[in-house]
Structure 1
Amino acid sequence: MSLSSSVIAGVVFSLAAFSAEATEIVPSGNRHATQPPVPSASARRTQAGQSTYDRKYKKIYALLESNAALRAKIIEAAGEYDVAPIHMIGAIIGEHTYNVDAYDHLQTYYVKAVSYLKSSFSFSYEGETVEAFIRQPAFADCGDEMDSYALWSCREAVWDEKYRDQVVEGTHYPNDRFSAVFFQPFYAGQTFGIGQLNPLTALQMSDMVHGTSGLPKLDHRDPQQVYRTIMDPDMSLTYMAAILRKSIDVYADVAGFDISKNPGLTATLYNLGNVETRAAKLAAENRLLRKQGRTPRWPRENYYGWLINDRLMELEALIADS
């Protein structure tokens, strides 16, 4: 079952519209008996790096296992957002197993963070900055009075409905995500840091992180600041915790499911993004199933989250004594 982008945008403004009658706890473990297929793009990245998933998994596991300071930072950030640390461990493991390989040393992430302050680049597409782009009338209803999460989620929904794979005033916009077109100046699909964040996600979470942790608010007109934030582990881990907290809250509010006991599900959402859209679709599907007298469907893990649940005891051992 699909929802129109206008309905999806409505979810951003009023999560209660899709709230289920009661919140049901989703137990730990995988719903799929075997791991769902891994996308070909992930396979290509891994082959290009002359590596394997198992080798990448062992590398990021070793970094976490050998670095007590990193584990302490994870636990601290998780506690600040009332998220069990295993959710952060799962997201980090998943990103570096199926996305990019981990650096050998944590210090490398700090060095890379500083280097972006000296780089010259902008958030733009074909010479049009995102600042100019979002001033177009189509974005007027998003309103500057919203918090950063609602504001950028609204703008993303407008992109999907009005611009993605369409010609607007003579410009053909790509059939790709808003974040890939405007917010990844080096190459589309690039994510950064220990948390493998993309800049648009960081912009969405800026107000929540500022309000909870006191970090400076991010500004899309200062991409160097954004990139430094998502590369610096001290700040990136804070954003990770906020994203996971948001996913748990949205699935409770919109779909009626408490996913806080299932790290594979939060890892899946961390990997896929568009949490409100996915929660709203699940809520709509389950309303229909209930009307038909059928059992509602629990949220399910993807290939990435499946690995986390499958290796859960091994991953929990990383923080058992920290």
Structure 2
Amino acid sequence: MRRILIPLLLAIVSFSWIPAYADAATMVPPGNRNAEQPAIPGASVRRTRGTNSTFDRKYQKVRELLATDTRLMSKIKSTARDYGIDPIHIIGALVGEHTYNVDAYDGLQSYYVKAASYAGQSFRFAYSGENIDDFVARPQFDVCKAKRDSYSLWTCREDVWDSAFRGKKVDGKSFPDNRFSAVFFQPFYAGQTFGLGQINPLTALELSDLVSSTSGIPKLDEKDASGVYKAIMDPDLSLAFVAGSIRKSIDDYRSIAGMDISGNPGLTATLYNVGNSRQRAAALAAKNRGAGQSVWPEENYYGWLINEKLDDLKSLL
């Protein structure tokens, strides 16, 4: 009897990490919920026109990069395996970024060169002379001290920013009505993101523990801004943060909204673009609590393109 019980107990322990919602999530249907592409933001339109390009040309350029750079595609596939996601999700995120936000370089080597050009630069995350580490030491952030992982910690701090500081005057100092990441984490100029995945530094800090435990990348420190930028610009590191972001979006929608979006790359691309998957999943859950039928998450213009081009993008694999 003892020989039977020990394996049974080990099996129980081994599977005890599986969340209660694992079998309860509703699979979101594939494809777009919108028949036509939602409106593309004016900033994206102006940026593309300003480079004498078109969205179609930018799409074709990033597609060509993915189709011809076998080293990059190999990295995408291996990183996707590490994070338990289909590589099409990473492809969707990269294609969306390089279609609507930046032009793709001609090859992976160009991303290494760009990352190297920022190596060794001295800068810090701050606003109006106040370093980020001093700012989050303010008593308003005490509620976040009990958070034990980087995702919970930084999303808590983001919530505190929104509720206690954003657009307000605190202790005689006025703070902009803008996102936490835009105010404290863009030391060069507003709207700035970098690298293959165009990840912003706050997102990288949120994902630090997940990426460290999965990929073995050293944990990031907000006091080391150069180290954060290296992580999001170096392709050998940044793809892990792209995959980590997608993994968290899928997990947030499953655990909070009871929705499985892992079969809809347009939705994961949308969340990669807009961020805040935790809050968006909570908003969707609230809608479904008062609805007579399922309210599905919807893609934005960015995710719509990925679902529309899905067969073409899958052919890259």
TM over 0.5: yes
1:115 Cα shift?
2.4
| Residue in 1 that maps onto 2:27 | 25
Deviations 1:227-272 (A, max 9, x none): 0110011111011111111110110100011000000000000000
| Residue in 1 that maps onto 2:6 | none
1:210 Cα shift?
0.7
| Residue in 2 that maps onto 1:6 | none
After superposition, the Cα gap between the structure-2 partners of 1:73 and 1:113, relative to the gap in structure 1 and judged at 3 Å, is: same
Deviations 1:13-62 (A, max 9, x none): xxx9xx79931101210000000000111112112222111111111111
1:284 Cα shift?
0.3
Alpha-carbon separation, structure 2, partners of 1:91 and 1:229: 17
Looking at both structures, which has the greater relative contact order when contacts are Cα pairs under 8 Å and sequence separation is at least 6?
1
| Residue in 2 that maps onto 1:109 | 111
Which residue identity is paired with 1:128? E
1:103 Cα shift?
1.5
Name which of structure 1's ranges 222-231 and 136-145 shifts more when overlaid on structure 2. 136-145
Q: Is the 8 A contact 1:124 1:182 kept in 2?
A: yes
Alpha-carbon separation, structure 2, partners of 1:157 and 1:145: 13
Which residue identity is paired with 1:131? D
Q: Is the 8 A contact 1:20 1:254 kept in 2?
A: no
Which residue identity is paired with 1:24? T
After superposition, the Cα gap between the structure-2 partners of 1:125 and 1:136, relative to the gap in structure 1 and judged at 3 Å, is: same
Deviations 1:252-309 (A, max 9, x none): 10001100000000000000000011000000011011xxxx2121111000000000
Alignment of 1:60-71 (within 5 A): 60-71=62-73
Counterpart among 305, 308, 311 of residue 310 in structure 1: 308
Q: Unpaired segments of 5 or more residues in structure 1? A: 1-15
Give the 3-state SS of the residue equivalent to 2:148 in structure 1.
Answer: coil
Q: Would you say 1:250 and 2:215 are equivalent positions?
A: no
Q: Would you say 1:140 and 2:142 are equivalent positions?
A: yes
1:116 Cα shift?
2.1
TM-score, length basis structure 1: 0.90
1:75 Cα shift?
0.2
| Residue in 2 that maps onto 1:5 | none
Q: Is the 8 A contact 1:20 1:255 kept in 2?
A: no
After superposition, the Cα gap between the structure-2 partners of 1:21 and 1:295, relative to the gap in structure 1 and judged at 3 Å, is: farther
Alpha-carbon separation, structure 1, partners of 2:146 and 2:44: 37
Q: Is the 8 A contact 1:25 1:259 kept in 2?
A: yes
Q: Is the 8 A contact 1:21 1:256 kept in 2?
A: no
1:106 Cα shift?
1.3
| Residue in 2 that maps onto 1:94 | 96
Counterpart among 211, 214, 217 of residue 213 in structure 2: 211
Query: What RMSD, in angstroms, separates the aligned Cα atoms of the two structures?
Result: 1.4
Alignment of 1:270-281 (within 5 A): 270-281=272-283
How high is the sequence identity, in percent, across the aligned residues? 58
Alpha-carbon separation, structure 1, partners of 2:256 and 2:146: 24
TM-score, length basis structure 2: 0.91
Give the 3-state SS of the residue equivalent to 1:79 in structure 2.
Answer: helix
Alpha-carbon separation, structure 1, partners of 2:118 and 2:143: 33
Give the 3-state SS of the residue equivalent to 2:270 in structure 1.
Answer: helix
| Residue in 1 that maps onto 2:234 | 232
Q: Is the 8 A contact 1:148 1:203 kept in 2?
A: yes
Q: Is the 8 A contact 1:113 1:229 kept in 2?
A: no
| Residue in 2 that maps onto 1:181 | 183
Which residue identity is paired with 2:299? E
Deviations 1:178-233 (A, max 9, x none): 00110011111111111110000000000011111111100000010110110011
Alpha-carbon separation, structure 1, partners of 2:50 and 2:222: 32
| Residue in 2 that maps onto 1:54 | 56
Q: Is the 8 A contact 1:20 1:283 kept in 2?
A: no
Give the 3-state SS of the residue equivalent to 2:35 in structure 1.
Answer: coil
Which structure: larger Rg? 2
Alpha-carbon separation, structure 1, partners of 2:199 and 2:232: 6
Name which of structure 1's ranges 31-40 and 117-126 shifts more when overlaid on structure 2. 117-126
Q: Would you say 1:282 and 2:284 are equivalent positions?
A: yes
Alpha-carbon separation, structure 1, partners of 2:252 and 2:229: 26
Which residue identity is paired with 1:72? S
Q: Is the 8 A contact 1:269 1:275 kept in 2?
A: yes
| Residue in 1 that maps onto 2:293 | 295
Alpha-carbon separation, structure 2, partners of 1:285 and 1:262: 20
Give the 3-state SS of the residue equivalent to 2:249 in structure 1.
Answer: helix
After superposition, the Cα gap between the structure-2 partners of 1:106 and 1:21, relative to the gap in structure 1 and judged at 3 Å, is: closer
Alpha-carbon separation, structure 1, partners of 2:146 and 2:210: 16
